[in-house]
């Protein structure tokens, strides 16, 4: 973990978060839009109108989700962190210890917001996660297996997939 009271570590943290923001904007905005238009163009040339309509609608929904839940919240938190860190860096050497401590606390709070915040994704995870929990079924709630006749298994052995005739006359 970086010690943000150290100016070199603070600059490194800023650069790392700028890289994360740039990567997020590049992949979730520019590259995504390029891929979508490439698909739209392909579907248009192939006259796959249903793919074009449904794919266009779904990709627009995902684009709005990506902007609203990923890019915009991260950008706001990153901007807040930059403002707080600028205030922290502008403190003069003769500032009182109480002001320095308050500035460090604000900086730590902004860092915690930047790192911990997920743009509302935790609420979405809480809704979706129970679907994927592995559960054991109770025997009381399951239906009994139908009893199989031995004759049907013998017929299976003599079917063509096992190398025999489908119907044997001697049965």
Per-residue tens of pLDDT for the chain, all 171 residues: 666 667 787 788 888 888 988 998 999 999 999 999 999 999 999 999 999 999 999 999 999 999 988 888 888 888 888 887 777 777 767 777 787 778 777 777 777 776 665 555 566 667 667 777 777 766 665 666 565 555 555 555 555 555 555 455 555
Neighbouring residues of 81: CB distance < 8 A, sequence distance ≥ 6: 14, 17, 110, 111, 113, 114
Query: How far apart (Å, rounded) are the C-alpha atoms in residues 47 and 52?
Result: 8
| Helix/strand/coil for 124 | helix
Domains of the chain, residue spans: 7-132
Single pTM value for the model: 0.54
* Of 117, 37, 135, 32, the residue nearest 78 (C-alpha): 117
């Amino acid at each position: 973990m970086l010690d943000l009271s150290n100016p070199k570590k603070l600059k490194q943290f800023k650069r790392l978060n700028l890289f994360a923001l740039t990567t997020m904007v590049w992949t979730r905005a520019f590259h995504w839009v390029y891929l979508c238009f490439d698909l739209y163009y392909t579907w248009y040339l192939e006259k796959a109108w249903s793919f074009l309509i449904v794919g266009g609608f779904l990709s627009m929904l995902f684009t709005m989700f990506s902007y609203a839940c990923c890019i915009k919240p991260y950008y706001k938190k990153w901007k807040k962190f930059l403002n707080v860190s600028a205030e922290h860096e502008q403190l003069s050497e003769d500032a009182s210890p109480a002001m320095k401590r308050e500035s460090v606390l604000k900086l730590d709070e902004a860092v915690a917001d930047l790192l911990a915040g997920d743009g509302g994704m935790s609420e979405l995870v809480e809704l979706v996660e129970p679907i994927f929990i592995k559960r054991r079924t109770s025997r009381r709630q399951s239906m009994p297996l139908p009893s199989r006749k031995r004759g049907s298994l013998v017929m299976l052995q003599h079917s063509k997939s096992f190398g025999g005739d489908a119907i044997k006359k001697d049965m």
